[in-house]
Structure 1
Amino acid sequence: MYFPYLRGRQFELIAIRELVEKSLMSKNVMPVVEPVKLSSALIKTMAYFQEKDRALGLVRNPQVGSMLKDLADEKNEKDRGRFYEILKMADILTFLYADANLSANLSAMGQKGIKKQDIATICINQDSIPYLESAYASDCPRFNFIRDESGFRRRMPKQRIMFEDRYPKKSRNVEYLDSEDEHFSSDHLYYEQEGYLGFSDYSVVGNEYSESGFAPYAIAIHIIYFAADQTLRVRHFVSDTNDDITDPAGKFAEALEKLVIWNQTQQLDTFGVQTFEKMYRSRSYPGLGTVKKLSIMHHLELMSRYLDGVK
């Protein structure tokens, strides 16, 4: 089972919603959303997953963004009501970060009718292990997302999900020119024999979170693919004219041409890659949000095909 972990930004939410709309995401893939704000995109995505009877994970104590403040703001009364309404009806798995408030949060969920055995926990800080052990005692969560390190494995042997940031993030897009092709992950090959029920990562986004974006000097397209040994690699297609922030459409065209030429050999045929190739032929530029969306869609469709093939 694969649990792609995504922050609730607009284009990430659109990516998973469109995959379900197009029947391109396997039921062996359950997205986990850490909502960064109470947005119409979040509510629409939750409602669509409910409509299509698809499972979705939702972090109830997000660590970044303004979601908790948004829920407490009276100005958001209508959206808040809709959010909680869908939450009651949809097949949404509650996630909680393990911290000093875990027992109190579990108690609050219990008052809403959610048993602690039906909650997934995220324990990625060594100092949080005692909080989880204390809160669960002889019980265990539905899933426990942990780092693939001995300190976690030794003390949390049950219901484990391997949770790692596998994306080789660079501080600037232009730096990918020095490492155009990199190892991404082999978790899908070994998670079961290493005692995990599933694996999770941050797709091609990475764990780093920033409230605001910026105009990049270089534009990069990141594409996951299978190597001959079935490990996953990531190929970075980067623009060449990167001296300033002008002409993003021209930069995108440069990066896109590299992708199209490379794929003549690779022959990837996911919806995401096919859409990139259509943009190349029409010479269109969709904006950076859509570029990220298509890269995520490609990755999750690729993993869906793989998991459906081995299950």
Structure 2
Amino acid sequence: MYFPYLRGKTFELGALKEVAPNLNPKNIAPIIEPVQKSNNPLKTTIIALNAHGVIPHIILNPEVGKLTGIPLEDMFKDFADAKTKPAYVPCIRVNKTNAKVALAFVNQLHKDNIRFSLYIQEMIDFDISGWVNLSCANIIKNLGNYSSDFANSLKNTVLVRASFPKKDRNADYDEDPKYFSDAHLTCTKPVVTNQIGFGDFLIITDKWDPNGGPAYVVALHLTYISNKDNIMYIKHCKSNSDSETQSNTPKKFQEALVDLVAFANGESSVDKTTLGYKGLESLVGKPFPQLGVPKKLSMMHHMETLSKFIG
């Protein structure tokens, strides 16, 4: 099963809402970390996912964004009080610092017969097997952060990787397609004992950055699963003019977009039927939509590509 990890920025929530009709609820369950001051856009997104049978995992104690430090009970109540009653799995982030408070809340969820998942950020220095065994999904990020014994002791393990090869400057991205991930192959060949799924941060980095802004070079990112080896690759498509200034962003966007479409037309492995890809293709020659839109569409394409592959 695929567990894409998204932070609840506007374009990420938009990607989920728009791609929801094309996702297979049997093989995808998004993990969402709320970062906006209000959870209302997130609740709307959950309802859109629910309409197509998709049940996301919502981190109730986010590490970044505007909701950090809010008590777990208050976050849970905020969703429980919603008139629309969105269906989701409460996901509790656990580390050495917050373990006792977080697991006390988990005890209450279990007492109330509420299904939950755990995002275990590091190895905990006391036995947490009692909680792990009750969790419907135990999410760990980057396998190298845990001992082999610990990782293999978990039940219902979801292994999330930070696969996107983030560069400091868009100009530094190589023009040739690069290896992205083989995590989707773990559906048939698990990496750890009791693995039930895999996840990634889609076509963005796992590092939290609330800000964006003009760039000297515009870069668009397109993932695809090769017909030859079933490995996922990523193609970075860049603008090619005015790289010494931050001006002319609309022109640079069209340059990068034309590069992306030309690459896709020449690469049979790219699924050109996804909502995300068709959305990107439709922007050729059109007014500049701001860079959040192509990022949203690339994320949609990525999720639909993986959902189709494992479905």
TM-score class, shorter = 0.7 to 0.9
Task: Tell me the alpha carbon deviations over residues 18-67 of structure 1, each in whole angstroms, 9 at most, x when there is no partner.
Answer: 111xx211111111100112334223212333444420110011111111
**Contiguous gaps of at least 5 residues in structure 1:** none
Provide the residue aligned with 2:261 in structure 1. 260
Are residues 1:139 and 2:133 paired?
A: yes
Provide the residue aligned with 2:247 in structure 1. 246
Provide the residue aligned with 1:154 in structure 2. 149
Structure 2 vs 1, CA of residues 248 and 116 (structure 1 numbering), >3 Å: closer, same or farther?
A: farther
Structure 2 vs 1, CA of residues 51 and 113 (structure 1 numbering), >3 Å: closer, same or farther?
A: farther
Percent identity over the alignment is 26
CA contact (8 A) 2:221 2:235 kept: yes
Which structure carries more helix by proportion?
1
Residue 294 of structure 2 aligns to a residue in which SS?
helix
Structure 2 vs 1, CA of residues 85 and 192 (structure 1 numbering), >3 Å: closer, same or farther?
A: farther
Are residues 1:289 and 2:287 paired?
A: no
- Provide the rounded CA distance (Å) in 2 between the counterparts of 1:207 and 1:26: 24
- Provide the rounded CA distance (Å) in 2 between the counterparts of 1:137 and 1:96: 11
CA contact (8 A) 1:119 1:141 kept: yes
- Provide the rounded CA distance (Å) in 2 between the counterparts of 1:155 and 1:70: 30
TM, length-normalised to structure 1: 0.85
Per the TM alignment, residue 296 of structure 1 is displaced from its structure 2 partner at its CA by 0.1
Per the TM alignment, residue 261 of structure 1 is displaced from its structure 2 partner at its CA by 1.2
- Choose from 166, 169, 172 the match for 2:169: 172
TM, length-normalised to structure 2: 0.85
Per the TM alignment, residue 83 of structure 1 is displaced from its structure 2 partner at its CA by 3.7
Structure 2 vs 1, CA of residues 201 and 105 (structure 1 numbering), >3 Å: closer, same or farther?
A: same
Residues 217-228 of structure 1 aligned to structure 2 (within 5 Å) = 217-227=216-226, 228=228
- Provide the rounded CA distance (Å) in 2 between the counterparts of 1:286 and 1:7: 21
| Structure 2 counterpart of 1:25, one-letter code | L
CA contact (8 A) 1:237 1:258 kept: yes
Are residues 1:118 and 2:121 paired?
A: no
- Provide the rounded CA distance (Å) in 2 between the counterparts of 1:271 and 1:10: 18
Provide the residue aligned with 1:184 in structure 2. 180
Provide the residue aligned with 1:92 in structure 2. 88
CA RMSD of aligned residues (A): 2.8
Provide the residue aligned with 2:236 in structure 1. 236
Range with greater deviation from structure 2 (86-95 or 229-238): 86-95
Structure 2 vs 1, CA of residues 213 and 84 (structure 1 numbering), >3 Å: closer, same or farther?
A: farther
- Provide the rounded CA distance (Å) in 2 between the counterparts of 1:30 and 1:114: 24
Are residues 1:129 and 2:128 paired?
A: no
- Provide the rounded CA distance (Å) in 2 between the counterparts of 1:137 and 1:302: 34
Task: Tell me the alpha carbon deviations over residues 162-182 of structure 1, each in whole angstroms, 9 at most, x when there is no partner.
Answer: 111011111111111x35421
- Provide the rounded CA distance (Å) in 2 between the counterparts of 1:35 and 1:243: 36
Task: Tell me the alpha carbon deviations over residues 173-196 of structure 1, each in whole angstroms, 9 at most, x when there is no partner.
Answer: 1111x3542100001113542332
Range with greater deviation from structure 2 (209-218 or 141-150): 141-150
Residue 38 of structure 1 aligns to a residue in which SS?
coil
Count, aligned residues: 296
CA contact (8 A) 1:122 1:145 kept: yes
Residues 70-81 of structure 1 aligned to structure 2 (within 5 Å) = none
**Contiguous gaps of at least 5 residues in structure 2:** none
Residue 234 of structure 2 aligns to a residue in which SS?
strand
Per the TM alignment, residue 271 of structure 1 is displaced from its structure 2 partner at its CA by 1.5
- Provide the rounded CA distance (Å) in 2 between the counterparts of 1:217 and 1:182: 22
Provide the residue aligned with 1:26 in structure 2. 24
- Choose from 262, 276, 282 the match for 1:278: 282
- Provide the rounded CA distance (Å) in 2 between the counterparts of 1:42 and 1:237: 30
Per the TM alignment, residue 102 of structure 1 is displaced from its structure 2 partner at its CA by 2.5
